[in-house]
Structure 1
Amino acid sequence: MRDTARHDAHAFRALYDATSPKLFGFALRVLHKHELAEEALQDGFVAIWHAAATYQPGLAAPMTWMATIVRNKALDVRRRQGDEGTVEIDAAAFDRDVVEALAATANGPAEAHQCSVDAQALARCMDTLERRHRQAIGLAFFHDLTHGEVAQQLALPLGTVKTWIRRGLDKLKTCLTRGEVA
C-alpha cells in the first residue's frame, strides 16, 4: 500500500492482482451482474490509486479500506442504474461474510487473530438482534441505504425504521462493550 501511495505502478499491479478477485466478489454481491461489478471494481481501483496516500493503517486493514471503497462504488453504480429492487439480508450468510472478510485482511498472526475475534463478536452480537432490527441495520450500514430508502425497501414508516435502527445499534453497542459474546 505504501508503494501504491507513491504511485508505483508495479506495486499497484501487485495490489490489484492480490485483491481484485475478493473485491470483485464484494461488488457482485451488491450488483448481481458481472458487467456492473466489473465497472464498480474499475471505479474502485481508480479511487484506490488516487487515495492510497490517505490510507491510515491504524483505522482499518488495507483490505477493509479497499472493500469499503469498492462497495461504495458498487452502490454508486446501482444508483445510476436505478435499481430499486428489494434487498434481502440473509443473516447467516452476512455473519459468515463478515467473519471471512475481516479474517482475510490481517497482515500477521496476531492481527489475524484480533480481526477474527472482532468479526466473530460482531456476528454473534448481530445474531442477538431481533430479525427486523438486524435487517434494518443491514440495509442501512452494509448496503449503504438512507433511512428513507430502508423504509421504502421494508414498506414501513420512516419513524419505525429509525427506531429499529437506533434500538438495534444500542443493543449492538451494549453487547460489544460488555463482551456478552465471549
Structure 2
Amino acid sequence: MATRDDIENWLGQIALGDRASFSALYSATSAKLFGVILRVLDNRAEAEEVLQEVYMRIWRHAGRYRVNGLSPMTWLITIARNAAVDRKRRRVAIPADMSAIDSESDSGPGPEQRAIAASENARLSDCMDELDEGHAEAVRRAYLDGETYAELASRFDVPLNTMRTWLRRSLLKLRECLSR
C-alpha cells in the first residue's frame, strides 16, 4: 500500500515527466479514484473514460500539487470527483436498450475487493456518524451524488459560503477520524 510520502514523491517526479512514477501512482490509486468516479456517474463504461481523463489531467498538472500537510489522495480524489461531476452535467441521454447492454457486460469486483470495500465502508460509516446529521447528508450528496455547492446551499437553505464551510469542516473531521 502506498504511503502519503510515496504519492507525494511520485507526483513530484511526474511533474518532471517521469513515466515510471506515473505508472506507480496509477497502480496505487486507480482503483480508489475509479470508485469515486463510478459512484458519481453510476455507469462503468463512462467512469472508465473519465478515469483516463483524470490521469491525463494528473500527468499535465502534477506540478500544481503542493505539499501542505493534507493527504495527496484528497487532491487526487478532488480531481476525479470534479471530472465526474463535469461529465455528469454534460451527459447525453442514452437509450434504455443501450444502457442494458452495457450493464450486462460489466464485471463486478472480486471477493478481495468486496471485503476491502466493506471494511473501508464500515470505518467511513462510523466516522460519518460522528458528524452532525445535516452535515453528513451534505457530504454524501456532494461527494457521492455529485451535487454542487450551490445545489446543496439551496437544498439546506444556507448561504453558499456556509455550505462550503460545512463541507470543509466535515471533511477535516472525517480525515481526523479515519486517521485514528
| Amino acid aligned to 1:62 | P
Mapped contact 1:27–1:40 kept (Cα < 8 A): yes
Task: Report the Cα distance in structure 2 between the residues aligned to 1:24 and 1:80, rounded to whole angstroms.
Answer: 19
2:24 equivalent to 1:19: no
Mapped contact 1:30–1:143 kept (Cα < 8 A): yes
Q: TM-score, normalised by structure 1?
A: 0.58
C-alpha spacing 1:10/1:137, structure 2 compared with 1 (3 Å): closer
- Which of structure 1's runs of 4+ aligned residues deviate more than 6 A? none
Deviations 1:88-118 (A, max 9, x none): xxxxx9xx55956xxxxxxxxxxxxxxxxxx
Task: Give 1:56 deviation, angstroms.
Answer: 1.1
C-alpha spacing 1:148/1:169, structure 2 compared with 1 (3 Å): closer
| Structure 1 segment 67-146 matched on structure 2, within 5 A | 67-81=77-91, 97=121, 123-126=128-131, 129-130=132-133, 132-140=134-142, 143-146=145-148
Task: Give 1:61 deviation, angstroms.
Answer: 1.9
Helix, strand or coil at the partner of 1:163: coil
Pairwise CA RMSD: 3.7
Give the unaligned 5+ runs of structure 2: 1-9, 94-116
Task: Give 1:66 deviation, angstroms.
Answer: 0.9
**In percent, how many aligned pairs have the same letter?**
34
User: 2:66 is matched with which residue: 38, 56, 60?
Assistant: 56
Q: TM-score, normalised by structure 2?
A: 0.58
Task: Report the Cα distance in structure 2 between the residues aligned to 1:53 and 1:98, rounded to whole angstroms.
Answer: 34
Mapped contact 2:39–2:145 kept (Cα < 8 A): no
Mapped contact 1:41–1:70 kept (Cα < 8 A): yes
Task: Report the Cα distance in structure 1 between the residues aligned to 2:64 and 2:150, rounded to whole angstroms.
Answer: 31
Q: Which fold has the larger relative contact order, with Cα–Cα distance below 8 Å and residues 6 or more apart in sequence?
A: 2
| Amino acid aligned to 1:73 | A
C-alpha spacing 1:133/1:25, structure 2 compared with 1 (3 Å): closer
Mapped contact 1:133–1:164 kept (Cα < 8 A): no
Mapped contact 1:44–1:69 kept (Cα < 8 A): yes
Q: How many residues align?
A: 135
